[in-house]
């Protein structure tokens, strides 16, 4: 088979995106526990930046699917002695069936590794996008609500790689209303916005973007935030905390949406992006969401590395 890489959610067709999400939900129920579609394969796990959930999810997921894993840390490869990343990618492709990589740098490096057709490459977080987080989020929503279509979701915080992936994924589901409230100067990039708006125009989703928390729609289904200090990044503005302070998620957001659930990609800093009473309160499904990292990792690996049929390339 020809390996399929997942560098962006846009590498999945609409049908494939739904298929991967549905498979993640099925993995979460235990229905597919005996299936080992990656038996005999070797998956590299290469993380240059810290990770708890994503690295554990892909390592555990690959093993559960029958694969063997080879793990690399940031100082383990000859790139630290001057070997080019291109040469490293060629070596990887000759010895691995799949590579799960977190670089926190530009995704172009992973795109370079994915130019061959033997080894699948999975983006476990780049500077621009965190696509496997979006898969976990969609699977969590699908499991909890029975659907993704038509959900009303408020995202509060920086327009970081998690927000980018969420916007690119949710905008492909009919009837979704995604309200993005980001601090001034910390919104989504023009490229992500253009792609998300194109998806929304095709699907019938709605993107509502502002830089304040005024006039929030009532009866939200979900309030979502991420931590203010994204892994592998630093903010140039020394006064950024003052800019971000109004975007802290507090219980006040539930006054017009008392049934809304709370999601967070974790790790969380209680008292910064979210108050402890929200994160640890009855509306929070953040730790259920974290468990879906495993199920979505398994579904992503299956799509990339098994012989299962694809339904097309990106939408």
The pTM assigned to this predicted structure is 0.94
Residue written as tokens 């691995």? 96
Sheet with 120-123, strands from edge to edge, namely 68-72, 42-47, 98-102, 120-123
Supply 308's token pair.
Answer: 């299962």
Give me the domains of the chain, ranges plus CATH numbers: 9-130+294-305 (3.40.50.1370), 133-290 (3.40.50.1370)
pLDDT value of position 35: 77
Supply 14's token pair.
Answer: 């609409």
pLDDT value of position 308: 53
- Residues 238-257 have pLDDT tens digits of 899 999 999 999 999 999 99
Q: Say if residues 84 and 98 touch (Cβ distance below 8 Å).
A: no
Number of DSSP helices (H) and strands (E) in the chain, helices first = 10, 9
Query: For residue 193, how many other CB atoms are within 10 A of its CB?
Result: 18
Reduced to 3 states (helix: H, G, I; strand: E, B; else coil), residue 289 is: helix
Mean pLDDT of the 225-249 span: 90
What is the C-alpha to C-alpha distance for residues 283 and 62, in angstroms, rounded to an integer? 31
What is the C-alpha to C-alpha distance for residues 223 and 57, in angstroms, rounded to an integer? 24
pLDDT value of position 234: 82
Query: Does residue 208 have a pLDDT over 50?
Result: yes
Burial class of residue 239 in the structure, from the number of CB atoms within 10 Å of its CB (0-12 exposed, 13-18 middle, 19+ buried)? exposed
Q: Say if residues 211 and 183 touch (Cβ distance below 8 Å).
A: yes
What is the C-alpha to C-alpha distance for residues 285 and 4, in angstroms, rounded to an integer? 31
pLDDT band for position 309 (cuts 50, 70, 90): very low
Asked which of 101-105, 190-194, 262-266, 288-292 is least confident by mean pLDDT, the reply is 101-105
**What φ, ψ does residue 80 adopt, rounded to 5°?**
-75, -15
Task: Name which of 148, 162, 147, 133 is nearest 294 in CA terms.
Answer: 133
Q: pLDDT over 70 for what percent of the chain?
A: 96
- Could you give the C-alpha distances from 240 to 139, 213, 228, 237, 291, in angstroms and in order? 33, 17, 10, 5, 31
- Residues 137-164 have pLDDT tens digits of 999 999 999 999 999 999 999 999 999 9
Residue written as tokens 């977080």? 125
- Residues 287-305 have pLDDT tens digits of 999 999 999 999 999 999 9
- Residues 106-130 have pLDDT tens digits of 999 999 999 998 999 999 999 999 9
Supply 248's token pair.
Answer: 């802290």
> DSSP E strands: which ranges in the chain?
42-47, 68-72, 98-102, 120-123, 152-156, 177-181, 206-210, 222-225, 261-264
Q: Say if residues 128 and 108 touch (Cβ distance below 8 Å).
A: no
- Residues 3-13 have pLDDT tens digits of 899 999 999 99
pLDDT band for position 313 (cuts 50, 70, 90): very low
Residue written as tokens 């793990």? 71
pLDDT value of position 107: 96
Mean pLDDT of the 91-105 span: 95
Mean pLDDT of the 39-48 span: 96
Query: Does residue 183 have a pLDDT over 70?
Result: yes
Asked which of 99-108, 188-197, 236-245, 303-312 is least confident by mean pLDDT, the reply is 303-312
Query: Does residue 33 have a pLDDT over 80?
Result: no
pLDDT value of position 315: 45
């Amino acid at each position: 088979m020809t390996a399929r890489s997942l560098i962006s959610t846009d590498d999945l067709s609409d049908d494939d995106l739904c298929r991967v999400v549905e498979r993640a939900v099925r993995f979460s129920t235990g229905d597919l526990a005996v299936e080992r579609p990656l038996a005999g394969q070797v998956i590299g796990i290469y993380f240059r930046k810290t990770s708890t959930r994503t690295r554990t999810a892909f390592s555990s997921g690959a093993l559960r699917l029958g694969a063997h894993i080879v793990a690399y840390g940031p100082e383990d490869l000859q790139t630290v002695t001057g070997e080019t990343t291109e040469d490293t990618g060629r070596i990887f492709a000759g010895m691995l069936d799949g590579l799960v990589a977190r670089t926190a740098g530009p995704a172009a490096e992973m795109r370079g590794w994915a130019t061959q057709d033997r080894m699948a490459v999975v983006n476990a977080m780049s500077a621009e996008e965190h696509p496997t987080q979006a898969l976990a989020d969609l699977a969590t929503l699908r499991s909890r609500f029975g659907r993704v279509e038509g959900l009303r979701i408020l995202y509060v915080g920086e327009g970081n790689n998690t927000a980018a992936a969420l916007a690119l994924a949710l905008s492909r589901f009919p009837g979704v209303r995604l309200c993005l409230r980001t601090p001034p100067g910390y919104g989504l990039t023009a490229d992500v916005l253009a792609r998300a708006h194109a998806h929304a125009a095709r699907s019938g989703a709605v993107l509502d973007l502002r830089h304040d928390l005024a006039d929030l729609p009532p009866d939200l289904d979900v309030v979502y935030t991420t931590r203010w200090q994204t892994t592998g990044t630093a903010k140039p503005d020394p006064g950024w905390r003052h800019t971000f302070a109004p975007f802290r998620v507090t219980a006040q957001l539930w006054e017009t949406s008392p049934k809304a659930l709370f999601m967070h990609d974790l790790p969380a800093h209680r008292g910064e992006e979210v108050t402890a009473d929200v994160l640890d309160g009855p509306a929070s499904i953040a730790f259920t969401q974290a468990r879906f990292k495993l199920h979505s990792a398994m579904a992503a690996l299956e799509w990339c590395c098994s012989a299962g049929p694809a339904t097309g390339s990106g939408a």
